[in-house]
Chain A
Amino acid sequence: MKWSLDLTIAVVLTVLVWTGFYFAFPSEPFSPLETVFVLAVIYGLVTLAHLAWKRWGPAKARGK
């Protein structure tokens, strides 16, 4: 379940990034390879953030 949640967040963020860059530079949208690369990077970052939240999130939430 966790990896699918991370992947969903990564896909949504990739769509946002793709659209943002498309509006900024419409003549050169991301190629399929670049899209996959961006998705991979964002997925990695989301996974890291997820792990960090799991490790330190509850303590932060309790104010410790």
Chain B
Amino acid sequence: MTRQRPSGDWSDGRSTLARSLVLVLVLLFLVPTPSVGQYGDNMIEIERPPPGEPLVIDVPANAVLVLPFDLHEVVVSVDPPDVLFGLEDGGLIVLKGLFAHLGTVRIATPSSETPKPLSLEDLIAPGAGDPGEPGAGSAVPPEQVPVESEPSVGPDEPLPPLAGLRHTGRDLLFAGEAERAGHPLYSYLLFAGASEGSREERERFKSAIAAFVRQVRSAEALERSGAARESINIFYAPMRPIFEDTKPESMRLHFAQRSEAEQLSLLLELYDHARAEVLMGHLRLSGNGPFIVSVLRPLSRDPVLGSEAFLVQDLSRVPPELVGLWVDEFKRQVVQEATEEPEHLRRLALSLRTQIAVLADAFAITKSAVAEMFEAPDAAGTGNN
């Protein structure tokens, strides 16, 4: 018994159409859309959170973030290792770990649909590279616009790019003197403790000053050797005048001509604790320090706003003998953040090294206290005899 195939053009056409439709549907399901294929599994499409509510997203390395807004439309704040986007309606997007993966993460916004690598500059100066007009129609109130999006050194001079950072050079900041313009990053060694503070605090400050003088090259020497100002992270220590009624340039020259040991004692003697305290106030830092702080613009000008990015390295709990290692780490980290993936393992090792020193010190103090407890009765007995 043979089965007859239905004849007729209409039936044939219907069957072919149905098969084609099935084939198209299968293909649609099987073949990924270009966007998914292009970005892979690491694509994260971010949606606006409900007004006033936070949305927390973990950002892995090599992720592609697809944002429904341009960066200049939001208030960006950095809270390492996280980055926060504040929206006009009070919504908040917390991108956990984004700051740690800055070199690897790409970002797509409505104005630039092709993902581009996200850099520190995009976060701290949003809209600087966007073709759109930053600020025009921006939802951000003027008082909340991050200060670093404004030129820091003058209305016509743009911010030097952080990617060009290669060196850290030290300089002195004399009373009443403003910072030199043109540097991509301004760092300061700040200590507000009094000279009659605790012994360990004084030792720590002395170590920090010694590291400042011995481990950081003079910015002037770097520039003389051909380093561009845009490649130098300027590292200031506030200092009181060496001579009254003398220009800062002359005092700087006088300081530079002295030996390393003389520079060290001079800086220890004339360190400007009052100005350091004022600068710490601009960052709302509490405690005596020492701190190493880095800002994208001269800190003497204005207090830092909540939305501005800055880095603080708190050395107040570091044993004095290890302060030099942290100053080295600061120099290395600044350049690495700008050029390559930071060495997190090395940073972890340094933290561990510091903790071992702190705990060993505590261990010694406890040991000597216990020893004293046992020795005290004998000593008392000897005294009575």
* A53 CB-CB contact with B under 8 Å: no
Q: Determine the distance from Cα of A2 to Cα of B307 in the docked complex, in whole angstroms.
A: 59
Q: Is A28 within 8 A of B356, CB to CB? A: no
The secondary structure that dominates the A interface is helix
* A38 CB-CB contact with B under 8 Å: yes
Q: Is B349 within 8 A of A28, CB to CB? A: no
Using known A-B contacts A25-B325, A28-B324, A28-B325, determine if residue A37 contacts B350 with beta carbons closer than 8 Å.
no
Using known A-B contacts A21-B349, A21-B353, determine if residue A28 contacts B321 with beta carbons closer than 8 Å.
yes
Q: Is B325 within 8 A of A33, CB to CB? A: no
Residues of B in contact (CB 8 Å), total: 15
Q: Is A31 within 8 A of B360, CB to CB? A: yes
* A4 CB-CB contact with B under 8 Å: no
Q: Give per-residue flags for A20-54: 1 if the beta carbon is below 8 A from chain B beta carbons, else 0.
A: 01001101101101101110100000000000000
The secondary structure that dominates the B interface is helix
Q: Determine the distance from Cα of A38 to Cα of B252 in the docked complex, in whole angstroms.
A: 45
Q: Is B357 within 8 A of A34, CB to CB? A: yes
Tell which of A24, A27, A28, A34 touches B360, judged by Cβ atoms closer than 8 Å. Answer: A34
Q: Give per-residue flags for B348-379: 1 if the beta carbon is below 8 A from chain A beta carbons, else 0.
A: 01100100110111011000000000000000
Residues of A in contact (CB 8 Å), total: 13
Q: Determine the distance from Cα of A31 to Cα of B353 in the docked complex, in whole angstroms.
A: 11
Tell which of B346, B349, B356 touches A34, judged by Cβ atoms closer than 8 Å. Answer: B356
* B222 CB-CB contact with A under 8 Å: no
B145 → chain A closest CB, angstroms: 42
Chain B hits for A33, CB < 8 A: 360-361, 363-364
* B61 CB-CB contact with A under 8 Å: no
CB proximity to A under 8 Å, residues B125-166: none
Q: Determine the distance from Cα of A24 to Cα of B363 in the docked complex, in whole angstroms.
A: 24
Chain B hits for A34, CB < 8 A: 356-357, 360
- Kindly report which residue of chain A lies nearest to residue B357, judged by CB atoms: A34
Chain B hits for A21, CB < 8 A: 349, 353
Q: Determine the distance from Cα of A25 to Cα of B357 in the docked complex, in whole angstroms.
A: 13
The interface centre, meaning the residue of A31, A38, A40 with most chain B CB atoms within 10 A of its CB, is A31
Q: List chain B positions with a Cβ less than 8 A from chain A.
A: 321-322, 324-325, 346, 349-350, 353, 356-357, 359-361, 363-364
> What would be 11 A-B contacts, judged by CB atoms less than 8 Å apart?
A24-B349, A25-B325, A25-B349, A27-B325, A28-B322, A28-B325, A31-B360, A33-B361, A33-B363, A33-B364, A38-B360
| 4 A-B pairs with least C-beta separation | A37-B360, A34-B360, A37-B363, A24-B349
